[in-house]
Structure 1
Amino acid sequence: MSPTCRTTRRQSKRRRLSGAAAVALVAASATACSNEAIDQWSRGGMPEGVTEQSQIIQTLWNGAWIAALATGVVVWGLIFWAVAFHRKKRNSEALPPQVRYNLPIEILYTVVPVIMVAILFFFTARDQTEIMKVSGTAPVKVRVDGYQWSWKFTTHYQGQKVEVAGVPVDLSKQSNENPQGPQLVLPVNTKVEFELHSDDVIHSFWVPAFLFKQDLFPGNVVNRFEIKTLDRTGVFIGRCAELCGADHSRMLFSVKLVPQAEFEQYIKSHAGSAQ
Protein backbone atom coordinates (compact mmCIF):
# COMPACT_ATOMS: atom_id res chain seq x y z
CA MET A 1 0.00 0.00 0.00
CA SER A 2 1.39 3.37 -0.96
CA PRO A 3 2.15 6.04 1.69
CA THR A 4 -0.45 8.32 0.06
CA CYS A 5 -3.26 5.75 0.56
CA ARG A 6 -2.30 5.16 4.21
CA THR A 7 -2.29 8.91 4.88
CA THR A 8 -5.69 9.30 3.22
CA ARG A 9 -7.16 6.48 5.34
CA ARG A 10 -5.78 7.96 8.56
CA GLN A 11 -7.25 11.35 7.68
CA SER A 12 -10.59 9.76 6.87
CA LYS A 13 -10.59 7.91 10.21
CA ARG A 14 -9.77 11.12 12.10
CA ARG A 15 -12.62 12.91 10.34
CA ARG A 16 -15.05 10.14 11.31
CA LEU A 17 -13.91 10.28 14.93
CA SER A 18 -14.15 14.07 14.97
CA GLY A 19 -17.62 13.89 13.44
CA ALA A 20 -18.77 11.33 16.03
CA ALA A 21 -17.39 13.49 18.86
CA ALA A 22 -19.17 16.55 17.47
CA VAL A 23 -22.47 14.65 17.21
CA ALA A 24 -22.08 13.38 20.79
CA LEU A 25 -21.32 16.90 22.03
CA VAL A 26 -24.36 18.35 20.23
CA ALA A 27 -26.56 15.55 21.58
CA ALA A 28 -25.32 16.14 25.14
CA SER A 29 -25.90 19.89 24.81
CA ALA A 30 -29.39 19.31 23.39
CA THR A 31 -30.21 16.92 26.25
CA ALA A 32 -28.97 19.44 28.84
CA CYS A 33 -30.97 22.25 27.21
CA SER A 34 -34.01 20.00 26.99
CA ASN A 35 -33.78 19.05 30.67
CA GLU A 36 -33.32 22.70 31.62
CA ALA A 37 -36.34 23.71 29.53
CA ILE A 38 -38.48 20.96 31.09
CA ASP A 39 -37.31 22.09 34.53
CA GLN A 40 -38.27 25.69 33.71
CA TRP A 41 -41.69 24.63 32.43
CA SER A 42 -42.32 22.53 35.55
CA ARG A 43 -41.70 25.67 37.64
CA GLY A 44 -43.98 27.82 35.49
CA GLY A 45 -41.12 30.14 34.53
CA MET A 46 -40.06 30.77 38.13
CA PRO A 47 -36.38 30.56 39.19
CA GLU A 48 -35.31 27.58 41.25
CA GLY A 49 -35.99 28.39 44.91
CA VAL A 50 -33.30 28.20 47.61
CA THR A 51 -35.51 28.36 50.72
CA GLU A 52 -38.17 26.11 52.26
CA GLN A 53 -40.67 28.96 51.90
CA SER A 54 -39.97 29.16 48.16
CA GLN A 55 -41.24 25.60 47.80
CA ILE A 56 -44.60 26.68 49.26
CA ILE A 57 -44.75 29.63 46.87
CA GLN A 58 -43.85 27.40 43.93
CA THR A 59 -46.65 24.95 44.75
CA LEU A 60 -49.18 27.78 45.05
CA TRP A 61 -47.96 29.27 41.75
CA ASN A 62 -48.28 25.93 39.93
CA GLY A 63 -51.74 25.32 41.40
CA ALA A 64 -52.93 28.77 40.29
CA TRP A 65 -51.68 28.12 36.75
CA ILE A 66 -53.42 24.71 36.62
CA ALA A 67 -56.70 26.28 37.79
CA ALA A 68 -56.35 29.12 35.27
CA LEU A 69 -55.64 26.74 32.39
CA ALA A 70 -58.56 24.48 33.34
CA THR A 71 -60.87 27.52 33.39
CA GLY A 72 -59.46 28.65 30.05
CA VAL A 73 -60.08 25.25 28.45
CA VAL A 74 -63.73 25.30 29.56
CA VAL A 75 -64.26 28.90 28.35
CA TRP A 76 -62.48 28.33 25.02
CA GLY A 77 -64.41 25.09 24.53
CA LEU A 78 -67.75 26.85 25.05
CA ILE A 79 -66.73 29.66 22.67
CA PHE A 80 -65.69 27.25 19.90
CA TRP A 81 -68.80 25.13 20.47
CA ALA A 82 -71.03 28.21 20.09
CA VAL A 83 -69.12 29.34 16.99
CA ALA A 84 -69.31 25.89 15.36
CA PHE A 85 -72.87 24.83 16.17
CA HIS A 86 -74.76 28.09 16.61
CA ARG A 87 -73.45 30.15 13.74
CA LYS A 88 -75.89 31.96 11.49
CA LYS A 89 -77.39 29.80 8.74
CA ARG A 90 -76.61 30.79 5.16
CA ASN A 91 -79.26 33.03 3.57
CA SER A 92 -81.21 33.09 6.82
CA GLU A 93 -82.36 36.32 8.43
CA ALA A 94 -84.00 34.62 11.41
CA LEU A 95 -82.54 35.26 14.85
CA PRO A 96 -81.50 32.23 16.89
CA PRO A 97 -83.73 31.32 19.87
CA GLN A 98 -83.26 33.91 22.63
CA VAL A 99 -82.70 32.73 26.22
CA ARG A 100 -83.80 35.04 29.03
CA TYR A 101 -84.27 34.61 32.76
CA ASN A 102 -82.88 31.09 32.87
CA LEU A 103 -82.56 30.74 36.62
CA PRO A 104 -80.48 27.49 36.71
CA ILE A 105 -77.88 28.95 34.32
CA GLU A 106 -77.70 32.24 36.26
CA ILE A 107 -77.19 30.35 39.51
CA LEU A 108 -74.51 28.21 37.84
CA TYR A 109 -72.41 31.10 36.54
CA THR A 110 -72.73 32.89 39.89
CA VAL A 111 -72.00 29.97 42.22
CA VAL A 112 -69.09 28.44 40.26
CA PRO A 113 -66.93 31.62 40.22
CA VAL A 114 -67.66 32.18 43.92
CA ILE A 115 -66.47 28.64 44.70
CA MET A 116 -63.33 29.13 42.59
CA VAL A 117 -62.44 32.42 44.29
CA ALA A 118 -63.09 30.89 47.72
CA ILE A 119 -60.72 27.97 46.97
CA LEU A 120 -57.97 30.29 45.71
CA PHE A 121 -58.44 32.55 48.73
CA PHE A 122 -58.18 29.60 51.13
CA PHE A 123 -54.89 28.31 49.70
CA THR A 124 -53.44 31.83 49.41
CA ALA A 125 -54.33 32.74 53.00
CA ARG A 126 -53.01 29.40 54.29
CA ASP A 127 -49.69 29.72 52.47
CA GLN A 128 -49.27 33.41 53.29
CA THR A 129 -49.71 32.65 56.98
CA GLU A 130 -46.99 30.01 56.79
CA ILE A 131 -44.60 32.16 54.72
CA MET A 132 -44.94 35.23 56.97
CA LYS A 133 -44.52 33.26 60.21
CA VAL A 134 -41.65 34.56 62.38
CA SER A 135 -40.64 32.13 65.12
CA GLY A 136 -38.11 34.42 66.82
CA THR A 137 -35.74 31.44 67.22
CA ALA A 138 -33.59 31.99 64.12
CA PRO A 139 -29.87 31.75 65.02
CA VAL A 140 -28.99 34.30 62.32
CA LYS A 141 -30.65 37.72 62.34
CA VAL A 142 -30.14 40.31 59.62
CA ARG A 143 -31.11 43.97 59.77
CA VAL A 144 -31.62 45.36 56.28
CA ASP A 145 -31.42 49.13 55.78
CA GLY A 146 -32.42 50.45 52.37
CA TYR A 147 -31.44 53.95 51.28
CA GLN A 148 -31.10 55.87 48.03
CA TRP A 149 -29.54 53.93 46.36
CA SER A 150 -27.98 50.95 48.05
CA TRP A 151 -28.20 48.66 51.08
CA LYS A 152 -26.64 48.05 54.47
CA PHE A 153 -26.77 44.54 55.97
CA THR A 154 -26.08 44.03 59.67
CA THR A 155 -25.73 40.30 60.46
CA HIS A 156 -26.00 39.14 64.08
CA TYR A 157 -24.79 35.65 65.00
CA GLN A 158 -23.85 34.31 68.44
CA GLY A 159 -23.24 37.76 69.90
CA GLN A 160 -21.10 38.91 66.98
CA LYS A 161 -22.00 41.50 64.36
CA VAL A 162 -20.90 42.11 60.78
CA GLU A 163 -21.91 45.20 58.81
CA VAL A 164 -21.79 45.45 55.03
CA ALA A 165 -22.84 48.66 53.23
CA GLY A 166 -22.78 49.60 49.57
CA VAL A 167 -23.07 52.41 47.04
CA PRO A 168 -24.98 52.54 43.73
CA VAL A 169 -23.37 49.98 41.43
CA ASP A 170 -21.75 50.50 38.05
CA LEU A 171 -24.19 48.67 35.76
CA SER A 172 -21.53 48.24 33.06
CA LYS A 173 -19.67 45.89 35.43
CA GLN A 174 -22.74 43.97 36.66
CA SER A 175 -23.06 40.29 35.72
CA ASN A 176 -24.28 37.05 37.28
CA GLU A 177 -20.68 35.83 37.49
CA ASN A 178 -19.41 39.10 39.01
CA PRO A 179 -22.30 40.73 40.95
CA GLN A 180 -21.78 44.29 42.11
CA GLY A 181 -22.99 45.94 45.31
CA PRO A 182 -22.94 44.76 48.94
CA GLN A 183 -22.97 41.01 49.53
CA LEU A 184 -24.92 39.31 52.32
CA VAL A 185 -23.33 36.02 53.41
CA LEU A 186 -25.66 33.40 54.92
CA PRO A 187 -25.28 29.72 55.92
CA VAL A 188 -27.19 26.87 54.28
CA ASN A 189 -29.74 24.74 56.19
CA THR A 190 -30.34 27.55 58.69
CA LYS A 191 -33.20 29.81 59.77
CA VAL A 192 -32.58 33.49 59.09
CA GLU A 193 -34.75 36.35 60.38
CA PHE A 194 -34.83 39.63 58.45
CA GLU A 195 -35.79 43.02 59.87
CA LEU A 196 -36.42 45.69 57.24
CA HIS A 197 -35.88 49.45 57.65
CA SER A 198 -35.81 52.38 55.24
CA ASP A 199 -33.94 55.65 55.78
CA ASP A 200 -35.80 57.73 53.19
CA VAL A 201 -38.46 56.37 50.79
CA ILE A 202 -40.22 53.04 50.18
CA HIS A 203 -37.87 50.31 48.92
CA SER A 204 -38.47 46.60 48.35
CA PHE A 205 -36.07 43.80 49.30
CA TRP A 206 -36.20 41.20 46.55
CA VAL A 207 -34.11 38.10 45.91
CA PRO A 208 -35.70 36.24 42.97
CA ALA A 209 -34.24 32.92 44.19
CA PHE A 210 -36.25 33.38 47.43
CA LEU A 211 -39.46 33.70 45.32
CA PHE A 212 -40.33 36.45 47.78
CA LYS A 213 -40.05 40.19 48.28
CA GLN A 214 -40.98 42.53 51.12
CA ASP A 215 -41.29 46.33 51.30
CA LEU A 216 -39.23 48.64 53.49
CA PHE A 217 -41.11 51.70 54.78
CA PRO A 218 -39.63 54.89 56.26
CA GLY A 219 -40.60 55.87 59.78
CA ASN A 220 -41.48 53.42 62.52
CA VAL A 221 -42.91 50.72 60.25
CA VAL A 222 -40.70 47.62 60.52
CA ASN A 223 -41.40 44.53 58.43
CA ARG A 224 -40.04 41.13 59.41
CA PHE A 225 -39.90 37.75 57.74
CA GLU A 226 -38.05 34.48 58.22
CA ILE A 227 -36.57 31.96 55.81
CA LYS A 228 -35.01 28.53 56.12
CA THR A 229 -32.23 28.13 53.55
CA LEU A 230 -31.87 24.86 51.68
CA ASP A 231 -28.67 22.87 51.20
CA ARG A 232 -27.68 24.80 48.06
CA THR A 233 -24.63 27.01 47.95
CA GLY A 234 -24.10 29.80 45.44
CA VAL A 235 -24.42 33.52 44.80
CA PHE A 236 -27.89 34.93 44.05
CA ILE A 237 -28.66 38.41 42.74
CA GLY A 238 -30.95 40.76 44.68
CA ARG A 239 -32.41 44.16 43.86
CA CYS A 240 -34.91 46.81 44.88
CA ALA A 241 -38.35 46.07 43.44
CA GLU A 242 -39.93 49.45 44.24
CA LEU A 243 -39.27 52.47 42.00
CA CYS A 244 -37.45 54.69 44.48
CA GLY A 245 -35.71 57.44 42.52
CA ALA A 246 -33.19 58.28 39.84
CA ASP A 247 -30.71 55.47 40.57
CA HIS A 248 -33.26 52.77 41.40
CA SER A 249 -31.78 50.45 38.75
CA ARG A 250 -28.35 50.66 40.43
CA MET A 251 -29.68 49.48 43.81
CA LEU A 252 -28.32 45.94 43.50
CA PHE A 253 -26.86 43.44 45.95
CA SER A 254 -26.17 39.72 46.19
CA VAL A 255 -26.74 36.91 48.69
CA LYS A 256 -24.05 34.26 49.07
CA LEU A 257 -25.06 30.93 50.63
CA VAL A 258 -22.11 29.02 52.09
CA PRO A 259 -21.58 25.93 54.30
CA GLN A 260 -21.98 26.48 58.05
CA ALA A 261 -18.25 26.20 58.77
CA GLU A 262 -17.41 28.78 56.12
CA PHE A 263 -20.09 31.12 57.48
CA GLU A 264 -18.72 30.87 61.02
CA GLN A 265 -15.23 31.62 59.72
CA TYR A 266 -16.61 34.63 57.82
CA ILE A 267 -18.31 35.98 60.96
CA LYS A 268 -15.18 35.41 63.04
CA SER A 269 -12.88 37.19 60.57
CA HIS A 270 -15.22 40.15 59.88
CA ALA A 271 -16.93 40.72 63.23
CA GLY A 272 -16.85 44.32 64.39
CA SER A 273 -15.58 45.66 61.08
CA ALA A 274 -17.57 47.75 58.59
CA GLN A 275 -17.21 46.75 54.93
Structure 2
Amino acid sequence: MVSTTPSPRSRKLAVAASAVVATAVLAGCSPEAQRGFLPEQAPGATNHTDMIISLWNNSWIAALAVGVLVWGLLLWCVVVYRRRKGDNQLPVQLRYHVPLELMYTFVPIVMVGVLFAYTSRSMGEILDTSAEPDVEIEVVGKRWSWDFNYTDSDVHYSGVQAELTGELGVPDTLPTLYLPQGQNVEISLRSRDVNHAFWIPGFLMKMDMITGRTNSFQLVPEKLGVYEGKCAELCGEYHASMLFNVEVVTPEVYEEKMAELAAQGNTGVLGPEFDVKQHTGNQSAIGNEEGSDH
Protein backbone atom coordinates (compact mmCIF):
# COMPACT_ATOMS: atom_id res chain seq x y z
CA MET A 1 0.00 0.00 0.00
CA VAL A 2 1.07 3.57 -0.69
CA SER A 3 1.36 5.68 2.45
CA THR A 4 -0.41 9.04 2.46
CA THR A 5 1.21 10.28 5.65
CA PRO A 6 3.04 13.56 4.91
CA SER A 7 6.79 13.18 5.19
CA PRO A 8 9.16 15.83 6.60
CA ARG A 9 10.03 16.78 3.03
CA SER A 10 6.39 17.33 2.10
CA ARG A 11 5.93 19.48 5.18
CA LYS A 12 8.92 21.58 4.08
CA LEU A 13 7.35 21.99 0.64
CA ALA A 14 4.11 23.09 2.27
CA VAL A 15 5.94 25.68 4.35
CA ALA A 16 7.75 26.95 1.24
CA ALA A 17 4.48 27.21 -0.65
CA SER A 18 2.93 29.14 2.25
CA ALA A 19 5.89 31.52 2.19
CA VAL A 20 5.39 32.14 -1.53
CA VAL A 21 1.68 32.87 -1.03
CA ALA A 22 2.45 35.18 1.91
CA THR A 23 5.01 37.05 -0.18
CA ALA A 24 2.46 37.50 -2.96
CA VAL A 25 -0.12 38.82 -0.49
CA LEU A 26 2.36 41.28 1.01
CA ALA A 27 3.41 42.41 -2.47
CA GLY A 28 -0.25 43.09 -3.18
CA CYS A 29 -0.19 45.80 -0.52
CA SER A 30 2.29 47.93 -2.50
CA PRO A 31 0.98 50.79 -4.69
CA GLU A 32 2.53 49.17 -7.77
CA ALA A 33 0.66 45.92 -7.16
CA GLN A 34 -2.61 47.70 -6.39
CA ARG A 35 -2.58 49.23 -9.85
CA GLY A 36 -1.48 45.95 -11.41
CA PHE A 37 2.01 47.32 -12.19
CA LEU A 38 0.41 49.59 -14.79
CA PRO A 39 1.76 53.15 -15.41
CA GLU A 40 1.97 55.28 -12.26
CA GLN A 41 -0.17 58.05 -13.79
CA ALA A 42 -3.01 55.69 -14.73
CA PRO A 43 -5.24 55.67 -11.59
CA GLY A 44 -7.78 58.46 -12.00
CA ALA A 45 -6.23 59.79 -15.20
CA THR A 46 -9.52 59.50 -17.13
CA ASN A 47 -13.05 58.36 -16.46
CA HIS A 48 -12.09 54.89 -17.76
CA THR A 49 -8.74 54.08 -16.16
CA ASP A 50 -9.98 52.90 -12.76
CA MET A 51 -12.42 50.51 -14.45
CA ILE A 52 -9.62 49.15 -16.66
CA ILE A 53 -7.32 48.67 -13.66
CA SER A 54 -10.08 46.83 -11.79
CA LEU A 55 -10.71 44.50 -14.73
CA TRP A 56 -6.97 43.90 -15.13
CA ASN A 57 -6.35 43.14 -11.45
CA ASN A 58 -9.39 40.89 -11.03
CA SER A 59 -8.41 38.93 -14.15
CA TRP A 60 -4.93 38.34 -12.71
CA ILE A 61 -6.35 37.38 -9.31
CA ALA A 62 -8.60 34.78 -10.95
CA ALA A 63 -5.70 33.48 -13.06
CA LEU A 64 -3.39 33.26 -10.04
CA ALA A 65 -6.06 31.48 -7.99
CA VAL A 66 -6.39 28.83 -10.69
CA GLY A 67 -2.59 28.62 -10.95
CA VAL A 68 -2.13 28.15 -7.20
CA LEU A 69 -4.82 25.44 -7.17
CA VAL A 70 -3.28 23.57 -10.09
CA TRP A 71 0.30 23.94 -8.82
CA GLY A 72 -0.77 22.88 -5.35
CA LEU A 73 -2.53 19.75 -6.61
CA LEU A 74 0.44 18.85 -8.79
CA LEU A 75 2.92 19.23 -5.94
CA TRP A 76 0.62 17.32 -3.60
CA CYS A 77 0.38 14.42 -6.05
CA VAL A 78 4.12 14.44 -6.65
CA VAL A 79 4.90 14.36 -2.94
CA VAL A 80 2.17 12.08 -1.57
CA TYR A 81 2.04 9.56 -4.40
CA ARG A 82 5.71 9.43 -5.27
CA ARG A 83 7.25 5.98 -5.42
CA ARG A 84 9.10 5.13 -2.25
CA LYS A 85 11.90 2.64 -1.83
CA GLY A 86 10.44 -0.82 -1.49
CA ASP A 87 7.04 0.09 -2.97
CA ASN A 88 6.36 -2.22 -5.88
CA GLN A 89 2.59 -1.94 -6.02
CA LEU A 90 0.96 0.61 -8.33
CA PRO A 91 -1.85 2.83 -7.05
CA VAL A 92 -5.41 2.04 -8.12
CA GLN A 93 -5.76 2.78 -11.83
CA LEU A 94 -8.96 4.57 -12.96
CA ARG A 95 -10.07 4.85 -16.58
CA TYR A 96 -12.43 7.75 -15.89
CA HIS A 97 -13.96 9.78 -13.10
CA VAL A 98 -17.22 11.37 -14.22
CA PRO A 99 -17.70 13.95 -11.40
CA LEU A 100 -14.09 15.13 -11.75
CA GLU A 101 -14.33 15.37 -15.54
CA LEU A 102 -17.57 17.33 -15.31
CA MET A 103 -15.96 19.70 -12.81
CA TYR A 104 -12.89 20.54 -14.89
CA THR A 105 -15.11 21.00 -17.95
CA PHE A 106 -17.80 23.11 -16.31
CA VAL A 107 -15.61 25.34 -14.12
CA PRO A 108 -13.41 26.70 -16.98
CA ILE A 109 -16.53 27.42 -19.06
CA VAL A 110 -17.99 29.44 -16.19
CA MET A 111 -14.70 31.30 -15.64
CA VAL A 112 -14.31 32.19 -19.32
CA GLY A 113 -17.96 33.28 -19.45
CA VAL A 114 -17.55 35.59 -16.45
CA LEU A 115 -14.32 37.06 -17.86
CA PHE A 116 -16.00 37.61 -21.24
CA ALA A 117 -19.01 39.32 -19.64
CA TYR A 118 -16.94 41.79 -17.62
CA THR A 119 -14.58 42.47 -20.54
CA SER A 120 -17.46 43.04 -22.95
CA ARG A 121 -19.13 45.43 -20.53
CA SER A 122 -15.93 47.40 -19.98
CA MET A 123 -15.11 47.57 -23.70
CA GLY A 124 -18.65 48.72 -24.42
CA GLU A 125 -18.24 51.65 -22.03
CA ILE A 126 -14.77 52.56 -23.32
CA LEU A 127 -15.81 52.54 -26.99
CA ASP A 128 -19.22 54.19 -26.51
CA THR A 129 -19.35 57.43 -28.54
CA SER A 130 -23.10 58.07 -28.24
CA ALA A 131 -22.72 60.98 -25.78
CA GLU A 132 -22.52 64.54 -27.07
CA PRO A 133 -18.86 65.56 -26.80
CA ASP A 134 -17.78 68.89 -25.33
CA VAL A 135 -14.65 68.95 -27.49
CA GLU A 136 -13.85 67.22 -30.78
CA ILE A 137 -10.25 66.62 -31.86
CA GLU A 138 -8.93 64.85 -34.93
CA VAL A 139 -5.54 63.16 -34.55
CA VAL A 140 -3.81 62.31 -37.81
CA GLY A 141 -0.82 59.97 -37.87
CA LYS A 142 1.88 60.41 -40.48
CA ARG A 143 5.39 59.09 -40.96
CA TRP A 144 6.75 59.97 -38.48
CA SER A 145 4.81 62.52 -36.46
CA TRP A 146 1.31 63.78 -35.74
CA ASP A 147 -1.18 66.44 -36.81
CA PHE A 148 -3.77 67.66 -34.28
CA ASN A 149 -6.94 69.27 -35.66
CA TYR A 150 -8.95 71.03 -32.95
CA THR A 151 -12.10 71.08 -35.04
CA ASP A 152 -14.27 72.98 -32.54
CA SER A 153 -11.77 75.82 -32.37
CA ASP A 154 -10.89 75.59 -36.09
CA VAL A 155 -7.14 75.50 -35.39
CA HIS A 156 -4.45 72.89 -35.87
CA TYR A 157 -0.93 71.88 -34.94
CA SER A 158 1.39 70.10 -37.36
CA GLY A 159 4.21 68.08 -35.79
CA VAL A 160 7.60 67.14 -37.20
CA GLN A 161 9.65 64.01 -36.63
CA ALA A 162 11.35 63.89 -33.24
CA GLU A 163 15.13 63.93 -33.08
CA LEU A 164 16.14 61.33 -30.51
CA THR A 165 19.55 62.61 -29.46
CA GLY A 166 19.71 60.76 -26.15
CA GLU A 167 20.13 64.09 -24.36
CA LEU A 168 17.82 65.86 -21.93
CA GLY A 169 15.16 68.17 -23.31
CA VAL A 170 13.85 66.06 -26.20
CA PRO A 171 10.36 65.64 -24.66
CA ASP A 172 9.96 69.42 -24.65
CA THR A 173 10.32 69.48 -28.44
CA LEU A 174 7.63 66.87 -29.14
CA PRO A 175 4.16 67.67 -30.53
CA THR A 176 1.72 68.33 -27.69
CA LEU A 177 -1.94 67.38 -27.69
CA TYR A 178 -3.94 69.58 -25.30
CA LEU A 179 -7.00 68.20 -23.52
CA PRO A 180 -9.36 70.11 -21.19
CA GLN A 181 -9.81 68.63 -17.75
CA GLY A 182 -13.31 67.43 -16.84
CA GLN A 183 -14.75 67.71 -20.35
CA ASN A 184 -15.94 64.90 -22.58
CA VAL A 185 -13.45 64.76 -25.46
CA GLU A 186 -14.07 62.81 -28.64
CA ILE A 187 -10.86 61.88 -30.43
CA SER A 188 -11.06 60.75 -34.05
CA LEU A 189 -8.09 58.90 -35.48
CA ARG A 190 -6.94 58.43 -39.05
CA SER A 191 -3.72 57.99 -40.99
CA ARG A 192 -2.15 59.96 -43.83
CA ASP A 193 -0.10 57.04 -45.16
CA VAL A 194 0.41 53.63 -43.54
CA ASN A 195 -1.15 52.03 -40.47
CA HIS A 196 -0.26 53.61 -37.13
CA ALA A 197 -1.58 53.25 -33.58
CA PHE A 198 -2.44 56.00 -31.08
CA TRP A 199 -1.26 55.02 -27.59
CA ILE A 200 -1.26 56.95 -24.32
CA PRO A 201 0.08 54.50 -21.68
CA GLY A 202 -0.99 56.75 -18.79
CA PHE A 203 -4.59 56.67 -20.08
CA LEU A 204 -4.44 52.88 -20.62
CA MET A 205 -5.80 53.61 -24.09
CA LYS A 206 -4.57 52.43 -27.48
CA MET A 207 -6.45 52.43 -30.77
CA ASP A 208 -5.34 51.53 -34.28
CA MET A 209 -5.17 54.09 -37.06
CA ILE A 210 -6.03 52.17 -40.22
CA THR A 211 -5.43 53.65 -43.67
CA GLY A 212 -8.72 54.74 -45.23
CA ARG A 213 -10.69 54.37 -41.98
CA THR A 214 -11.58 56.67 -39.08
CA ASN A 215 -11.74 55.26 -35.54
CA SER A 216 -13.11 57.25 -32.61
CA PHE A 217 -13.40 57.09 -28.84
CA GLN A 218 -14.46 59.39 -26.02
CA LEU A 219 -12.90 60.06 -22.64
CA VAL A 220 -12.95 62.60 -19.85
CA PRO A 221 -9.44 63.64 -18.71
CA GLU A 222 -9.60 64.00 -14.93
CA LYS A 223 -6.01 64.44 -13.72
CA LEU A 224 -3.92 67.46 -14.68
CA GLY A 225 -0.46 66.70 -15.95
CA VAL A 226 1.71 65.74 -18.91
CA TYR A 227 1.49 62.23 -20.31
CA GLU A 228 3.64 60.41 -22.84
CA GLY A 229 2.20 59.27 -26.15
CA LYS A 230 3.60 57.16 -28.94
CA CYS A 231 2.83 55.11 -32.02
CA ALA A 232 2.31 51.44 -31.16
CA GLU A 233 2.29 50.06 -34.70
CA LEU A 234 5.54 49.35 -36.54
CA CYS A 235 5.23 51.88 -39.35
CA GLY A 236 8.65 52.19 -40.89
CA GLU A 237 12.25 53.18 -40.36
CA TYR A 238 11.66 55.97 -37.82
CA HIS A 239 8.75 54.40 -35.95
CA ALA A 240 10.59 54.91 -32.63
CA SER A 241 10.65 58.67 -33.27
CA MET A 242 6.87 58.93 -33.59
CA LEU A 243 6.34 60.40 -30.12
CA PHE A 244 4.09 63.09 -28.68
CA ASN A 245 3.01 64.63 -25.39
CA VAL A 246 -0.49 64.88 -23.97
CA GLU A 247 -1.09 67.77 -21.60
CA VAL A 248 -4.29 67.85 -19.57
CA VAL A 249 -5.00 71.48 -18.65
CA THR A 250 -7.86 73.42 -17.14
CA PRO A 251 -10.59 74.56 -19.57
CA GLU A 252 -9.33 78.13 -19.22
CA VAL A 253 -5.77 77.19 -20.17
CA TYR A 254 -7.14 75.06 -23.01
CA GLU A 255 -8.86 78.11 -24.51
CA GLU A 256 -5.63 80.06 -24.14
CA LYS A 257 -3.74 77.36 -26.06
CA MET A 258 -6.33 77.46 -28.83
CA ALA A 259 -5.96 81.24 -29.03
CA GLU A 260 -2.17 80.85 -29.23
CA LEU A 261 -2.49 78.47 -32.18
CA ALA A 262 -4.80 80.92 -33.94
CA ALA A 263 -2.39 83.80 -33.28
CA GLN A 264 0.41 81.72 -34.83
CA GLY A 265 -1.62 81.45 -38.03
CA ASN A 266 -2.56 77.79 -37.53
CA THR A 267 -6.19 78.37 -38.44
CA GLY A 268 -8.35 75.81 -40.20
CA VAL A 269 -7.73 72.06 -40.23
CA LEU A 270 -5.20 69.96 -42.11
CA GLY A 271 -7.42 67.77 -44.27
CA PRO A 272 -6.96 64.81 -46.63
CA GLU A 273 -5.25 67.04 -49.20
CA PHE A 274 -2.02 66.40 -47.28
CA ASP A 275 -2.39 62.61 -47.33
CA VAL A 276 0.07 60.41 -49.17
CA LYS A 277 -1.86 58.72 -51.96
CA GLN A 278 -1.85 54.95 -51.69
CA HIS A 279 -2.49 53.89 -55.27
CA THR A 280 0.18 52.35 -57.49
CA GLY A 281 0.88 55.47 -59.49
CA ASN A 282 2.19 57.30 -56.46
CA GLN A 283 4.50 54.67 -54.93
CA SER A 284 7.47 56.93 -55.71
CA ALA A 285 5.85 59.69 -53.67
CA ILE A 286 5.48 57.30 -50.76
CA GLY A 287 9.15 56.38 -50.95
CA ASN A 288 10.16 60.05 -50.96
CA GLU A 289 7.88 60.70 -48.01
CA GLU A 290 9.75 58.18 -45.81
CA GLY A 291 12.80 60.42 -45.75
CA SER A 292 10.96 63.63 -44.94
CA ASP A 293 9.65 65.20 -41.74
CA HIS A 294 6.08 65.45 -43.02
Question: Distance in 2 between the 1:175 and 1:92 partners?
Answer: 69
Conserved? CA contact 1:136–1:193, under 8 Å: no
Aligned AA (1:197): R
1:135 pairs with 2:130:
yes
> Does 1:42 pair with 2:42?
no
Equivalent pairs counted in the alignment come to 235
2:186 maps to which of 165, 180, 193: 193
Q: Which residue of 2 aligns with 1:97?
A: 92
Amino acid at match of 1:247: Y
* Cα displacement (A) at 1:39: 1.5
The 8 Å contact of residues 170 and 250 in structure 1, kept in 2 or not, is answered as: yes
Amino acid in structure 2 at the alignment position of 1:66: I
The residue aligned with 2:221 is: 229
- 1:63-82 correspondence to structure 2 within 5 Å: 63-82=58-77
In structure 1, what is the equivalent of residue 272 of structure 2?
Answer: none
1:118-157 matched pairs, under 5 angstroms: 118-157=113-152
User: Residue 164 of structure 2 contacts residue 170 of structure 2 at CA under 8 Å; is this kept in 1?
Assistant: no
Match of 1:242 among 217, 229, 233: 233
Give the corresponding residue for 1:23.
Answer: none
Aligned residue type for 1:258: V
> Which amino acid in 2 is paired with 1:249?
A
Identical residues among aligned pairs (%) = 39
User: Which of 153, 156, 161 pairs up with 2:154?
Assistant: 161
Gap regions ≥5 residues in structure 1? 1-36
- Determine whether 1:204 maps to 2:197: yes
**Cα pair 2:178 2:249 within 8 Å, conserved:** yes
- The match for 1:31 is none
CA distance in 2, matches of 1:172, 1:43: 32
Q: Which residue of 2 is the match for residue 107 of structure 1?
A: 102
1:161 and 1:175 map into 2 onto residues whose CA distance is: 33
CA contact (8 A) 2:133 2:185 kept: yes
TM-score (norm 2): 0.75
**What pairs up with 1:10-89 in 2 under 5 angstroms?**
38-47=30-39, 48-49=41-42, 50-89=45-84
Corresponding residue of 1:263: 254
> Can you list the C-alpha shifts for 1:160-192, whole angstroms capped at 9, x where unaligned?
222112122111257688344211111111110
What is the identity, as a one-letter code, of the residue corresponding to 2:33? W
Counterpart for residue 178 of structure 1: 171
The equivalent of 1:11 in structure 2 is: none
Structure 2 unaligned segments of length 5 or more: list them.
Answer: 1-28, 268-294
Structure 1 residue 259: deviation in Å?
1.1
Instruction: Calculate the TM-score normalised by the size of structure 1.
Output: 0.80
Q: CA deviation at 1:102?
A: 1.2
What is the deviation of 1:120? 0.2
